[in-house]
Structure 1
């Protein structure tokens, strides 16, 4: 990424995307948006990537969109600006590999939405979350209308959006937004450990399960049962399943274990 607003690294099958504008608390400007788009599309095409970590440089995750670049002249321009986000944010939400957000400091606006696009959020004690859009006369973006109610429930999502209040890490954990709270000094190591552990899961079983879970709240029972039949039929034919069964019979070390040490 030539402007370095996003650092993109792959190490042993784990891709790390670091929002890299610490001087603005990693506010998301247009170059960063373009870099995120390119990185996520690249990850989707690269099957050697087994897990993804989202993090921020410095002492913040992401303070939201860069207000200096928000001005638009027409409704069409504004719609196109947000619609451009939808291609890559939907690809991230639906990515068939584990995604971990390591949140240190603020996750405001689009930063909160970006964290919600991950499967799990691991946060430091100084993490803070907010949907401040009402203060600016705007609405949430980056798929928050989809992800936030699924994380906290409809009534709580309304409260967070309508009041634009800040949420502490402990409250966010109680709501189900945050999976774990760890000290800032160990946050990124913990996120990497979780990502590497999940990367050892069956990529087919994980991907099928994630897609089914993302569909579940918008589908009926019969649809989900049929999806279960088809997905399990595929999973039963994988080499991962065959080897896992053999290891169980042999009392050997499992291919996938939890919790993370």
Structure 2
């Protein structure tokens, strides 16, 4: 099955995708196995990321998990039956989706609860922002099953938490809680579990109502900054600011500031 052949709208699809008023939702949907990622789920994830990347009306992408967990990692039962081909197919699809999340203009928000482990932690780290419910538990987990990591974890962790802490998380495989994830900068906010959906929607709406061209350029500037020297980043900032200043949205933002009213951005 090809990624673009998957019915992402089906209620029983292992990965669901829909868009509502500029907010695209990618939801892992295997609640009976804590959303463990098998090949159909990975293919669905890639297809959903492709759909969001191609849809110019998407202002923000929210990634979440159905049931008691965000994602508990890869489906070990599937990999146990046929390790290498299963791992390659699963990783190829997941990595393709994660690359698209980084490339797309829309900000990506991860909404986390329950278990966030293995590849699930990778998906969370791939997002631009993350909000977590109290009680969420995090574990890189790979060392506990005798393998190295995937899903961008070895790239994102040292950039977020520093080399030494990344080594500890990766090499020891210990579980840590939402408060520690907040302290380390893995998540941006921790909220009561009962409020997670409401707070996720509130933050997503705020992003969706923001200036999409400016948000896209900010996302690109920040993501590319670690690969540039200072002068290169200054040049990129100057070019990006000039491009934004030529847009209708910039004029609207400035006018709204002086008129003391909310800006109404149209992405032009």
Calculate the TM-score normalised by the size of structure 1.
0.92
Deviation at 1:218, TM superposition (A): 2.0
- The residue aligned with 1:259 is none
Deviation at 1:152, TM superposition (A): 1.1
2:244 is the alignment partner of 1:235: yes
Residues 130-184 of structure 1: per-residue CA shift (max 9 Å, x gap): 0111111111111112211122111111110000110111111111112111122
**SS of the residue aligned with 2:64?**
strand
Of 50, 70, 74, the residue aligned with 1:61 is: 70
2:39·2:89 contact (CA, 8 Å) conserved in 1? Answer: no
Deviation at 1:81, TM superposition (A): 5.0
Deviation at 1:198, TM superposition (A): 0.9
1:98·1:195 contact (CA, 8 Å) conserved in 2? Answer: no
Query: Deviating runs (4+, > 3 A) in structure 1?
Result: 71-74, 76-81
**Take 1:249 and 1:102, find their aligned partners in 2: how far apart are those partners?**
35
**Take 2:87 and 2:117, find their aligned partners in 1: how far apart are those partners?**
20
2:40 is the alignment partner of 1:40: no
Deviation at 1:82, TM superposition (A): 2.7
Deviation at 1:102, TM superposition (A): 1.0
- The residue aligned with 1:125 is 134
Calculate the TM-score normalised by the size of structure 2.
0.89
**Take 1:66 and 1:182, find their aligned partners in 2: how far apart are those partners?**
28
Unaligned runs of 5+ in 2: 1-7
**Take 1:66 and 1:80, find their aligned partners in 2: how far apart are those partners?**
12
Deviation at 1:46, TM superposition (A): 0.6
What is the alpha-carbon root mean square deviation over aligned residues? 1.8
1:104/1:77 Cα in 2 relative to 1: closer, same or farther (>3 Å)?
closer
2:149 is the alignment partner of 1:134: no
2:188 is the alignment partner of 1:206: no
1:222/1:189 Cα in 2 relative to 1: closer, same or farther (>3 Å)?
same
1:84/1:254 Cα in 2 relative to 1: closer, same or farther (>3 Å)?
closer
**SS of the residue aligned with 2:110?**
strand
Residues 21-46 of structure 1: per-residue CA shift (max 9 Å, x gap): 11000101111111111111111111
Unaligned runs of 5+ in 1: 257-261
**SS of the residue aligned with 1:54?**
strand
- The residue aligned with 2:3 is none
2:176 is the alignment partner of 1:176: no
